[in-house]
């Protein structure tokens, strides 16, 4: 078995992101007893009777209760090969299991695979699976299930937005027998083990179940192998999972509890309004939720809520632009749009200054971040922005808006109907108006917006990407990912060559050099418009005991239980 230590781990956070890794990942510690303890009441005579030794009171069971987890958007699907939504990964992470996972320091550790070997050239991975892992319907998880799911995700017809790209340049996947899986890569992939460590996106699927149910039905009611079983999905309202009492294969190197979780069920309640979430946390109706900086200041004054914080690992929020469409096919326009944004003002107004201005495609919370972006990133300079627009033949009309050949730049600015994103979109809209750019905000649900962006049927959008590893650069900007996470529709062979090196370089120093070059190139070409890196805040009810929170794994609820 190989343990893969990330030698230059910075302040990474694995959270539930558009690519990201779930903040509610399965975790576990074997519980000794799961029956509810009862206590007989003694009669007055018995109570008064002298005894030589008083027996200790029976320990009350920790099992029970429903945890309400507020999410601001509804999943598009729970089919791991068909979704790229962060909220889907959060929920799938409680339902699924993965070959490997990672501990709080970023080390790759066993999960369904008890051990593995990697050839010296980094091309062949052989995983040896446990033989006691079961799906929620009682069927055994096998190597064939991982092969089926991964090959399905890699099939171009599937158009997998996350699982397929995370697998990368796989050449072949073969189940040598029920407990041995061989994955051959076309070329070395430095972050491969990290990429397959997400129990949400990277979970196995039993082919016979998937085909019997059909793709749509499976996406609405998946059969997983994790600590929770799917129960129901009430569209527009909530999704519910319940405790899997047979779960007994949690990774001992990452979790405190390798057995069934204590909390009986988790209700993922869809609540787009931040004020409603805050009120629910205050009243105790909601137990876990991501919160804004403003609400954090109030909630941290309450004894009933604990606040956990971490720096955002990625671009969330940022402005995605389609470089295949005018006006963003012009580098001068892309640079001008970058220089017309006052990021410091956005940081102060939107998140009360709790975070950092962002200049490059990685945040300081991600593995591989390069400090040099601060020196080459675009700062607020409307005069230089105007000069660049004029250099490309644009001029302002009588109303003060930029245009060319009598055609004003007038763009639809897409965003999710999430309060924090809408506020950011409104501030950006105002700043661009002051510069002379007309944007019309359009709010769309995730199920509408994501296909729109994936298909390149947009010009500009507020968006977010969360992932702890620098491999997000390859996923977001490599030409092979057009139709996937390459929302910018970048097709640049020179950049592709650099990005390929970020995967194929096995030596950590050489790989980091390639990652630095990629960040520099992407900034210089202005392929996106970064805003700021916020601090993320997660509110956890003080009624939840023994949960853990770390920068790498986020929130772990494996051994958590409700206070009696």
Residue 322 contacts residue 487 (beta carbons within 8 Å): yes
Report the pLDDT averaged over residues 228-239: 98
The answer to whether 98 and 199 have CB atoms below 8 angstroms apart is yes
What do you get for the CA distance between the two ends of the chain, in Å? 42
User: Which tokens belong to 527?
Assistant: 């392929």
In this prediction, residue 104 carries a pLDDT of 85
> Could you say which architecture CATH assigns to the domain 314-534?
Roll (3.10)
pLDDT tens sequence across 212-227 = 999 999 999 999 999 9
For the beta carbon of residue 35, count every other beta carbon within 10 angstroms: 7
The CA-atom distances, in angstroms, between 114 and each of 1, 111, 184, 534 are: 8, 6, 19, 37
Measure Cα distances from 562 to 57, 407, 424, 538 in Å. Answer: 19, 61, 36, 18
Distance CA 516, CA 368 (A): 8
Tokens 């082919």 locate to 207
Say whether the peptide bond before residue 24 is cis (omega within 30 degrees of 0): no
Q: What is the pLDDT of residue 59?
A: 55
φ and ψ at residue 274, rounded to 5 degrees: -65, -40
Q: What CATH topology corresponds to 109-209? A: Dipeptide-binding Protein; domain 1 (3.90.76)
**Cβ within 8 Å of residue 138, ≥6 positions away:** none
Q: H/E element holding 283?
A: helix 274-283
pLDDT above 90: percentage of residues in the chain: 79
Q: What is the pLDDT of residue 16?
A: 30
CB-CB contact of 104 with 255 (8 Å): no
Residue 128 is predicted with a pLDDT of 98
Angstrom distance (rounded) from CA 1 to CA 132: 19
Domain ranges across the chain = 109-209, 314-534
Residue 510 has pLDDT above 50, yes or no: yes
Q: Do domains 109-209 and 314-534 have the same CATH topology?
A: no
pLDDT of 20: 35
Averaged pLDDT for residues 520-541? 96
DSSP bridge pairs for 311: 535
What are the tens digits of pLDDT across the range 299-355?
999 999 999 999 988 998 999 999 999 999 999 999 999 999 999 999 999 999 999
Question: pLDDT per residue over 86-125, tens digit each?
Answer: 899 999 999 999 999 989 887 899 999 999 999 999 999 9
Give the pTM.
0.78
Q: Which residues contact 320 (CB under 8 A, 6 or more apart)?
A: 453, 458, 460, 461, 462, 463, 487, 488, 528, 529
Chain Cα centroid distance, residue 189: 21
| Residue 8: per-residue pLDDT | 27
Distance of alpha carbon 127 from the chain centroid: 25
432-451 pLDDT, tens per residue?
Answer: 999 999 999 999 988 899 89
How confident is residue 552, by pLDDT bands cut at 50, 70 and 90? confident
Q: Which residue has tokens 């509610």?
A: 24
Q: What is the pLDDT of residue 418?
A: 84
Q: Which residue has the higher pLDDT, 297 or 60?
A: 297
pLDDT at 168: 82
Report, as an integer, the average pLDDT of 118-143: 97
pLDDT at 24: 32
Averaged confidence pLDDT in the chain: 89
Contact residues for 401 (Cβ-Cβ < 8 A; gap 6+):
408, 409, 410, 436, 437, 438
């Amino acid at each position: 078995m190989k343990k893969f230590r990330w030698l230059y781990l910075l302040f990474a956070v694995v959270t539930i992101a558009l690519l990201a890794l779930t903040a509610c990942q399965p975790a576990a510690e074997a519980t000794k007893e799961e029956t509810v303890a009862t206590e007989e009441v003694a009669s007055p005579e018995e109570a008064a009777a002298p005894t030589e030794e008083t027996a200790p009171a029976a320990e009350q069971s920790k099992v029970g209760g429903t945890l309400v987890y507020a999410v601001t958007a509804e999943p598009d699907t729970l089919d791991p090969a068909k979704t790229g939504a962060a909220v889907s990964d959060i929920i799938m992470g409680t339902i699924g299991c993965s070959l490997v996972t990672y501990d709080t320091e970023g080390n790759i550790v066993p999960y369904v695979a008890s051990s593995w070997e990697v050839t010296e050239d980094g091309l062949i991975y052989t995983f040896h699976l446990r033989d006691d892992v079961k799906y929620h319907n009682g069927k055994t998880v096998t190597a064939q299930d991982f092969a089926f799911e991964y090959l399905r995700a890699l099939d171009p017809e599937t158009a997998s937005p996350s699982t397929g790209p995370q697998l990368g340049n796989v050449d072949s996947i073969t189940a040598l027998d029920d407990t041995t899986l061989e994955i051959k890569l076309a070329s070395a992939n430095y972050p491969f083990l990290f990429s397959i460590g997400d129990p949400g996106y990277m979970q196995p699927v039993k082919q016979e179940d998937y085909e019997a149910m059909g793709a749509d039905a499976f996406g609405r009611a998946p059969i997983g192998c994790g600590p929770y079983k799917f129960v129901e999905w009430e569209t527009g309202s909530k999704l519910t999972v319940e405790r899997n009492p047979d779960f007994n294969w949690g990774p001992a190197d990452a979790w405190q509890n390798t057995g069934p979780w204590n909390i009986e069920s988790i209700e993922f309640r869809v609540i787009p309004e931040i004020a409603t979430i805050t009120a629910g946390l205050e009243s105790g109706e909601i137990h876990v939720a991501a919160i804004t900086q403003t609400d954090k200041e109030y909630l941290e004054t309450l004894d009933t809520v604990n606040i956990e914080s971490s720096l955002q690992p990625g671009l969330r929020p940022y402005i995605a632009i389609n470089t295949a469409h005018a006006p963003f096919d012009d580098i001068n326009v892309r640079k001008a749009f970058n220089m017309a944004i006052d990021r410091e003002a956005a940081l102060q107004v939107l998140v009360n200054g709790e975070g950092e201005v962002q200049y490059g495609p990685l945040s300081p919370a991600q593995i591989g971040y390069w400090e040099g972006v601060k020196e080459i990133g675009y700062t607020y300079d409307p005069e230089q922005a105007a000069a660049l627009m004029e250099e490309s033949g644009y001029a302002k009309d009588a109303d003060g808006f930029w245009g060319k050949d009598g055609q004003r730049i007038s763009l639809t600015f897409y965003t999710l109907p999430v309060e924090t994103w809408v506020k950011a979109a409104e501030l950006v809209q105002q700043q661009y108006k002051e510069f002379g750019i007309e944007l019309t905000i359009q709010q769309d649900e995730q199920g509408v917006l994501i296909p729109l962006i994936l298909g390149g049927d947009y010009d500009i959008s507020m968006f977010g990407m969360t992932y702890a590893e620098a491999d997000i650069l390859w996923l977001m900007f490599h030409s092979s990912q057009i139709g996937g996470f390459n929302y910018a529709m970048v097709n640049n062979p020179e950049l592709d060559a650099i990005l390929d090196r970020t995967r194929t370089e096995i030596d950590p120093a050489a790989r980091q050099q390639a990652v630095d070059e990629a960040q520099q190139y992407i900034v210089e070409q202005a392929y996106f418009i970064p805003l700021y890196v916020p601090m993320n805040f997660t509110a956890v009810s003080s009624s939840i005991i023994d949960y853990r929170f770390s920068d790498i794994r986020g929130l772990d609820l494996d051994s958590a239980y409700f206070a009696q």
